[in-house]
Amino acid sequence: MTGSVAYLDHNASAPVKPAVRAAVAAALELCGNPSSVHRHGRLARRTLQRARAQVAALVGAKPEQVVFTSGATEANHLALLGVGCRRRIVSAIEHDSVQSVDPQAVQVPVDADGLIDLGALDVMLARDEGRAVVSVMLANNETGVIQPVAEAARIAHRHDALLHCDAAQAPGRIALDMASLGADLLTLSAHKIGGPQGVGALVLGPAVEVAALQRGGGQELGRRAGTENLPGIAGFGVAAELAPEDLASPVAARRDELERRAKQALPTVAVFGDAAPRLGNTSCLAMPGVGAETQVIALDLAGVAISAGAACSSGKVKTSRVLLAMGVDPALAACAVRVSLGPATEAWEIERFLAAWLALSGRTAGEQPTRVRAQ
């Protein structure tokens, strides 16, 4: 799919899996509308419901709890605006699609490792200002730091608040169970797990309901109007079913090797969040004195695809808001890039990244990387 390019930007969008591509093509052959009662409509609806069950199973939910959306951004908006809570409390390192919902939302600080301050959350919720919805992502898209969502949920519930969790980066990288997390609402995205772009889901807790932001038809049990994106949803379902298989990949060993060799060749390299639990595929690192945009462009020319922070800003490269919230010096934060691996990432891709990246500093990658057998 990516040819001879070392594609190390899986947190932005993962390559579509072959079985997903086949599911999308099969769904495109169906001409019926899932809402129609005739034979063609019933066939389309069967495909829709199969995908709903596949996505629900990924997080240990029931099919009727799944609301399909156009992506994680819409799911986040539906969660935070649809539950009817006037108070919104979000962690300072949430994705822009959460941060932008309510500019007046209370920000929960994080520590230098990028972990939410649970004590501060408790104090904020103790203020008697009406029922709140709290949004805490499961794993940060830039640093990979895994948040203590279950603990945050317990605190939220103690104060009669709802807990929303953006889990877009988690499937296939860590085990995922909605009940164990204690989340009342959970956001998922297809294209982070080898599914098609333009489709996501909001999974509701058993006792949670949302008011539709889009009104018109009665699709998605009245929670989201508009004819469903059947091909995208069919692909999402297959990607969700396949995601747990990725948990066995050697991606963490490859990431650790990348960081070890980068630090060995260039001791001034900073790796952010490495003292906290992280996704095994993600590394956020900075080369002091070399801007992120310069690094991204140079590596692109060398056949390596990485990103500078979140890849959701219309191609813009700007200093990471996440790193600033962690207390990172702005000058150093401006030099940070994100390298995110996938289950099929090979040793030669790590080697190419190190050679091209370290060349910017005048250093070399040195020893050959430890060979980790792909599974």
Domain that holds residue 101: 18-245
If asked whether residues 253 and 209 sit together in one domain, one would say no
If asked whether residues 205 and 254 sit together in one domain, one would say no
If asked whether residues 259 and 237 sit together in one domain, one would say no
The CA distance from 295 to 355, in Å, is 12
Report if residue 364 sits inside a domain: no
Task: Please give the C-alpha separations between residue 145 and each of 1, 2, 364, in angstroms, as whole numbers.
Answer: 28, 27, 29
Question: Looking at the 3D structure of the chain, how many domains does it have?
Answer: 2
Report if residue 137 sits inside a domain: yes
If asked whether residues 200 and 254 sit together in one domain, one would say no
If asked whether residues 165 and 268 sit together in one domain, one would say no
Q: Mind telling me the catalytic residues?
A: 312
CATH number at residue 115: 3.40.640.10
Report if residue 367 sits inside a domain: no
If asked whether residues 143 and 282 sit together in one domain, one would say no
Report if residue 317 sits inside a domain: yes
> Of 245, 260, 289, which residue is a domain's last?
245
Amino acid of residue 194: G
| Residue 102 neighbours by CB under 8 Å, 6+ apart | 80, 88, 90
* Secondary structure (3-state) at 239: helix
If asked whether residues 339 and 228 sit together in one domain, one would say no
- Contact (CB, 8 A) for 213 and 81: yes
The CA distance from 79 to 203, in Å, is 9
Q: What is the pTM of this model?
A: 0.93
* Secondary structure (3-state) at 221: helix
Report if residue 225 sits inside a domain: yes
* Secondary structure (3-state) at 203: strand
The CA distance from 3 to 55, in Å, is 30
User: What does each of the 375 residues of the chain score in pLDDT, given as a tens digit?
Assistant: 456 899 999 999 999 999 999 999 999 999 988 988 999 999 999 999 999 999 999 999 999 999 999 999 999 999 999 999 999 999 999 999 999 999 999 999 999 999 999 999 999 999 877 899 999 999 999 999 999 999 999 999 999 999 999 999 999 999 999 999 999 999 999 999 999 999 999 999 999 999 999 888 889 999 999 999 999 999 999 999 999 999 999 999 999 999 999 999 999 999 999 999 999 999 999 999 999 999 999 999 999 999 996 555 445 567 899 999 999 999 999 999 999 999 999 999 999 999 999 999 886 666 443 433 333
Report if residue 167 sits inside a domain: yes
If asked whether residues 232 and 166 sit together in one domain, one would say yes
If asked whether residues 229 and 83 sit together in one domain, one would say yes
CATH number at residue 345: 3.90.1150.10
| Residue 104 neighbours by CB under 8 Å, 6+ apart | 88
Report if residue 83 sits inside a domain: yes
- Contact (CB, 8 A) for 188 and 204: no
The CA distance from 300 to 294, in Å, is 10
> Of 245, 280, 308, which residue is a domain's last?
245
The CA distance from 10 to 278, in Å, is 15
If asked whether residues 45 and 170 sit together in one domain, one would say yes
If asked whether residues 113 and 136 sit together in one domain, one would say yes
If asked whether residues 156 and 285 sit together in one domain, one would say no
Q: What are phi and psi of 349, to 5 degrees?
A: -70, -40
| Tally of CB atoms within 10 A around 157 | 15
> Of 245, 275, 310, which residue is a domain's last?
245
200, β-bridge pairs: 69, 189
Report if residue 372 sits inside a domain: no
